[in-house]
Amino acid sequence: MLQVIREFRVGRPQVFAGLMLLAFVVQCLWVANSRKLSDLEYRYIAAGLIGKSEKAVNPSPFTGWVAALPVRLITLARKIANPSISAALAVPRPWMLRLPFIVFGVWLGAALWWVARRLFDDDGGYVALALYCTSPAMITVSSNIGPEIILAWSSLGLIYTAIGVAHTLYAPPKKWVPRIIILGLSIGFALATAWWSITLVLLAFGYMMYLAPGCRQRAFIVLASASGIGCAVWAVIYWLTGSFGLGIKPLLAHKPTLEALSNLAFALSGHTDGYVLVFLFIAALTAYGSWARTRYFGNTAPLLTGLAAVLLFSLVPAIRVWDATLGLSFVFIFVGGLAADFLETRFRRPIALILGACFVFRAVLTVMALITWVRNPV
């Protein structure tokens, strides 16, 4: 076992998770390079390239800034590279322009595995990451220029960093600092992507209050400090882009409808992420409702957060993001937690075989879905 830094070691679990993420990267690069850029993707790039003195509608400033980053780097590379390389970069390949979003997708997958493994040990981590790496929805948004993958990444970091901070409030304050910084960055990136994500900050605060009943004053201080960092990050993004994002008026121009509630069934829709996930989620939800052993905070939090994240964003029609993406990561953790509970019983072997068959079948269906999407993008 190789110890890279203190408290982080690279062993068999890390290597296996790395190989799974490598398969995820290969799928993302293939999809990203096989599709032409859509008009919406071009608009995000253009919004990021427009100077602060020019006016442009940019509902997601951080998304525009990230989308424009490859263009700026390629332009700089062409200026300092030799003529042959400069000519090759004259027309960037689609995957180059989408690469930052692939990075966010890999980052989210690694964070999801880390969280699930800390909560449910190796078994839960592997199941959650396997669901993520065979998810056509997550591969799609990771290989596409848009705010969804950034919001999914920052939402997961925001919620679980807040939970982690709540667990360390009884420790000396010096142990809070790294988590406060991470929490603040998550808040800042989420707000700069879609400031309606402030609702998730309130949800994270609720978890902190619940988990630290004897340290609520400390929890408030921590959240206030992290929020200050988040606002500073948001201000930096504003300075870079000249936009705070979607204003109040567009948010209030549309009224929420009962149809928005249908988005809460995202995990039960085969069109969202395949019918294998529908089967596993129904099985996990049934076990959660009928087996008292599974009803603990580690399983409850991702279930509630996934539903809340989708509901809070779908209630604002002016924010045109794919709501299901915000909840899928939490659903994967929920299913991973229930699977870990089952794998601790005397039925471990048959459960493992069923899960293995599900993942093989899901991988095949995912490749077929991606081929269809590449050929007929919508």
267: containing domain: 2-375
Given this model, what pLDDT does residue 302 score? Answer: 94
- Residue whose pair of structure tokens reads 């800042």 in the numeric block: 188
Total domains, the chain: 1
Reported residue count of the chain is 378
pTM, two decimal places: 0.89
What whole-number distance in Å separates Cα of residue 61 and Cα of residue 72? 16
Using CA atoms, how far residue 311 sits from 119, 152, 308, in Å, is 25, 14, 5
- Of 317, 319, 335, 315, nearest to 273 by C-alpha is 335
Residues of the chain with pLDDT under 70: 1-8, 51-59, 90, 243-264, 269-271, 315-323, 377-378
Taking 3-state DSSP, the helix, strand and coil percentages for the chain, each rounded to the nearest 5, stand at 80, 0, 20
What whole-number distance in Å separates Cα of residue 20 and Cα of residue 4? 20
- Residue whose pair of structure tokens reads 């879905």 in the numeric block: 369
Using CA atoms, how far residue 10 sits from 15, 17, 25, 59, in Å, is 7, 10, 20, 40
- Of 97, 185, 145, 131, nearest to 359 by C-alpha is 131
Coil, strand, or helix at residue 155?
helix
DSSP label of 50: S
| pLDDT tens-digit series, residues 160-184 | 988 988 888 877 777 778 888 888 9
| pLDDT tens-digit series, residues 302-334 | 999 988 888 877 766 555 566 678 889 999 999
In single-letter form, the type of residue at position 165 comes to V
What whole-number distance in Å separates Cα of residue 369 and Cα of residue 271? 10
* Cα-to-chain-centroid distance, residue 242: 25
Given this model, what pLDDT does residue 377 score? Answer: 64
First to last CA, the chain: 46
At residue 8, φ and ψ (nearest 5 deg) are -130, 125
Given this model, what pLDDT does residue 1 score? Answer: 38
